[in-house]
Amino acid sequence: MNTNEPISSTASAPPILGDMLADIVPVLGTVFVAGPPVLVAWAATVLLALMLAGPFAFLVTLIVVLVAAAALVTLAGAILATPYLLVRHLRRHRVRHTTRYMERQLVAVESQRATT
């Protein structure tokens, strides 16, 4: 369909499959090695990467801030819980060691009913 004839107002027949393939095959056989198509594809890739860089950086920053906040809350909880845990441990330790000396001991006592 390489014609230079003006389009007429009369209806023409639809193009034949062979004519359409003859127009498409050179486009399909083109290898983009250099030139504007490669530059356009590269520019589109760079533009997409730049468009995604901001939200990605925001997401990474948000995750880092949340992890840091969780670490601070954990550290504060550990610092506040330490005295309570230490007192509880010392009370249990004292109870274990003081009851050892308070065990019942058998003492020989003479019976008042016994006859000698």
pLDDT in tens, 77-93: 999 999 999 999 888 87
Q: Is the distance from CB of 41 to CB of 32 less than 8 angstroms? A: yes
- Rounded to whole angstroms, how far apart are CA atoms 29 and 27? 5
The pLDDT-based confidence of 43 (bands split at 50, 70, 90) is confident
- Rounded to whole angstroms, how far apart are CA atoms 92 and 28? 84
Tokens at 80, concatenated: 């506040």
The pLDDT-based confidence of 26 (bands split at 50, 70, 90) is confident
CA dihedral 84, 89, 92, 97 (to 10 degrees): -140
Does the pLDDT of residue 63 top 80, yes or no?
A: yes
- Rounded to whole angstroms, how far apart are CA atoms 20 and 58? 49
Tokens at 31, concatenated: 């290898």
User: DSSP states of 34-102 as a string?
Assistant: SSHHHHHHHHHHHHHHHHHHHHHHHHHHHHHHHHHHHHHHHHHHHHHHHHHHHHHHHHHHHHHHHHHHT
Q: Is the distance from CB of 23 to CB of 1 less than 8 angstroms? A: yes
* Most confident listed range (38-42, 73-77, 87-91): 73-77
